[in-house]
């Protein structure tokens, strides 16, 4: 794709968001608004990317350094319109080839549509092209004015439009392609003689047209791709549309999504075929789901790897690896650093953190496993607590292969349970248990006969005891 320079306009105040976060940094479907646009234009492989920043400069530039480290940022201190922003981005340069200019708050735009637009611009050898759409509710958008030959005549902003022009449904998307040299020669001629007193990038079209240059309006089929985000209502609307687009993509790729309306998948997630996703599930970040896995219902996975045939039911997991055929849930919480081996189990009401569970090992229910390594084929009894924190530091517990931890055991780290060892139910284990041994860490039981009758006379317990003793 012959695109020399891409200029992203991301300097807006975003006042309608009513947020301390710059508008372009608000997230939807796993990327910031700006991140979605950067992702789309990256598919064009431009020679250079320039991003005009303004409001929240430091935060925006920090974000850009992570999503587009090679991009050049340009600071627009005084927000004097889109034309002024483009002037700053082009200052001191005369770009060759095609220059693509678009806003940084249009998350619905796809790389495919941009490629088609640039291809049409290039094939027509136009000095300038603008991407347009038929919008059912065009209020607020610039209108496309065509001549008697149905060719682009000019673009008029909403505030400068006549009543008749406001009834035009073809809108300016804010996406432009220019011949770089002709753009550089004409953009200096912009004036602020308009309702907003700003330099409009749209006026470049009229300048080129007046100079006898060829300009074009290229209409996109799906107007939703052109939608920008100016407030939180539009942010939510974009999220819903992206949800539907993403879910449709995965269903056509062989993923079963039982209820797409309650399933939210980030654009950064990867899913193999023959995965089943049940209602109320959310897949976020860099999550990857392998073939045959079953997710949900009511499951949230963030930056997780789920291997083939695994099952995650009504659970939450973050930065966790779940092995082949492993089972998780229900009501399980897997925190960062957890690794479940193949055919392992993290069952009902289990919490794990920074823990490795070996192949075939099981933590079936009601347990906390923190900062631990569990070997292969071991079983952790109900209500077992890995006591990893002494109030100052975290400590590690090691459980060997084929170990049996009795119910209601407390493993006070640092401690090691050797291969094949047992612990007795109700034990507090503070010392290492050698391989093949049983660790018993509980006081000797003592029954005080008649205690209830003496200490709790007249209670229902005492009455029951009296009846039993008579």
3-state DSSP call for residue 177? strand
Helices (H) and strands (E) in the chain, counts: 9, 39
Residue 348 pLDDT: 98
Q: How many CB atoms lie within 10 A of CB 470?
A: 5
pLDDT band at 187 (very low <50, low <70, confident <90, very high): very high
Distance of CA 326 to the CA centre of its chain: 25
Mean pLDDT of 161-182: 94
* pLDDT digit string, tens, across residues 342-367: 999 999 999 999 999 999 999 999 99
Query: Is there a shared CATH topology between the 3-226 domain and the 248-439 domain?
Result: no
Mean pLDDT of 430-451: 94
What residues contact residue 135 under an 8 Å CB cut-off, 6+ apart? 141, 169, 170, 171, 223, 226
Average pLDDT, the chain: 95
* pLDDT digit string, tens, across residues 30-81: 999 999 999 999 999 999 999 999 989 999 999 999 999 999 999 999 889 9
Q: Is the pLDDT of residue 189 over 90?
A: yes
Are the C-beta atoms of 355 and 374 separated by less than 8 Å? yes
Q: Pick 248-439's CATH classification: 2.160.10.10, 3.40.718.10, 3.30.300.10, 3.40.920.10.
A: 2.160.10.10
The two three-digit tokens of residue 428, written as one number? 């507090």
Query: Which of 89-93, 244-248, 261-265, 315-319 has the least mean pLDDT?
Result: 89-93
Instruction: From residue 57, give the alpha-carbon distance in Å to each of 76, 86, 211.
Output: 9, 17, 37
Residue 1 pLDDT: 56
Q: What percent of the chain has a predicted confidence (pLDDT) above 70?
A: 100
Q: Cα(267)–Cα(104) distance, rounded to whole angstroms? A: 17
Mean pLDDT of 230-241: 96
Residue 104 pLDDT: 96
- Just list the catalytic residues: 365
* pLDDT digit string, tens, across residues 98-111: 999 999 999 999 99
Residue 148 pLDDT: 85
Are the C-beta atoms of 61 and 74 separated by less than 8 Å? no
Ranges of each domain in the chain: 3-226, 248-439
CA atoms within 13 A of residue 298's CA, in its CB half-sphere: 6
- What angle separates helix 33-42 from helix 57-67, to the nearest 10 degrees? 40
pLDDT band at 95 (very low <50, low <70, confident <90, very high): confident
Q: Is the pLDDT of residue 118 over 60?
A: yes
Class of domain 3-226: alpha beta
What residues contact residue 165 under an 8 Å CB cut-off, 6+ apart? 143, 145, 156
């Amino acid at each position: 794709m012959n695109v020399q320079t891409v200029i992203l306009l991301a300097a807006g105040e975003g006042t309608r968001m009513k947020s301390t976060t710059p508008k372009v940094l608000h997230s939807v479907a796993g990327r910031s608004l700006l991140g979605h646009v950067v992702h789309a234009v990256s598919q064009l492989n431009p020679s250079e990317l320039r991003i005009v920043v303004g409001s929240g400069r430091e935060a925006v530039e920090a974000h850009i350094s992570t999503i587009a480290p090679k991009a050049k940022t340009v600071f627009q201190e005084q927000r004097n319109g889109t034309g002024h922003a483009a002037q700053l981005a082009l200052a001191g340069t005369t770009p060759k080839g095609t220059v693509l200019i678009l806003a940084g708050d249009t998350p619905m735009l796809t790389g495919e549509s941009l490629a088609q637009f640039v291809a049409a611009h290039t094939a027509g050898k136009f000095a300038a092209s603008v991407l347009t759409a038929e919008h059912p509710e065009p209020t607020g958008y610039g209108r496309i004015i065509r001549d008697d030959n149905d060719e682009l005549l000019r673009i008029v902003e909403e505030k400068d439009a006549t009543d008749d022009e406001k009834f035009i449904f073809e809108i300016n998307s804010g996406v432009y392609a220019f011949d770089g040299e002709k753009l550089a020669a004409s953009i200096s001629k912009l004036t602020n003689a308009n309702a907003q007193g700003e330099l409009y990038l749209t006026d470049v079209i009229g300048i080129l047209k007046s100079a006898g240059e060829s300009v074009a309006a290229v209409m996109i089929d799906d107007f939703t791709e052109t939608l920008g985000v100016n407030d939180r209502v539009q942010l939510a609307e974009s999220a819903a549309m992206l949800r539907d687009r993403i879910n449709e993509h995965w269903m056509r790729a062989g993923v079963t999504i039982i209820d797409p309306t309650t399933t939210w998948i980030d654009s950064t997630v990867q899913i193999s075929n023959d995965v089943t996703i049940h209602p109320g599930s959310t897949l976020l970040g860099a999550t990857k789901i392998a073939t045959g896995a079953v997710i949900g219902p009511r499951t949230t996975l963030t930056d997780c790897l789920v291997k083939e045939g695994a099952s995650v039911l009504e659970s939450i997991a973050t930065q966790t690896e779940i092995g082949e055929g492993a089972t998780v849930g229900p009501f399980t919480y897997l925190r960062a650093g957890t690794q479940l081996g193949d055919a392992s189990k993290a069952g009902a009401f289990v919490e794990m953190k920074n823990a490795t569970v070996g192949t075939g090992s099981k933590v079936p229910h009601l347990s906390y496993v923190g900062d631990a390594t569990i070997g292969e084929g071991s079983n952790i009894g109900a209500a077992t607590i890995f006591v990893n924190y002494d109030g100052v530091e975290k400590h590690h517990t090691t459980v060997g292969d084929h170990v049996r931890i009795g119910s209601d055991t407390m493993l006070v780290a640092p401690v090691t349970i050797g291969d094949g060892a047992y612990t007795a139910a109700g034990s507090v284990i503070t010392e290492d248990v050698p391989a093949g041994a049983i660790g018993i860490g509980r006081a000797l039981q003592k029954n005080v006969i008649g205690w209830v009758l003496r200490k709790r006379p007249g209670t229902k317990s005492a009455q029951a005891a009296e009846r039993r003793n008579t």
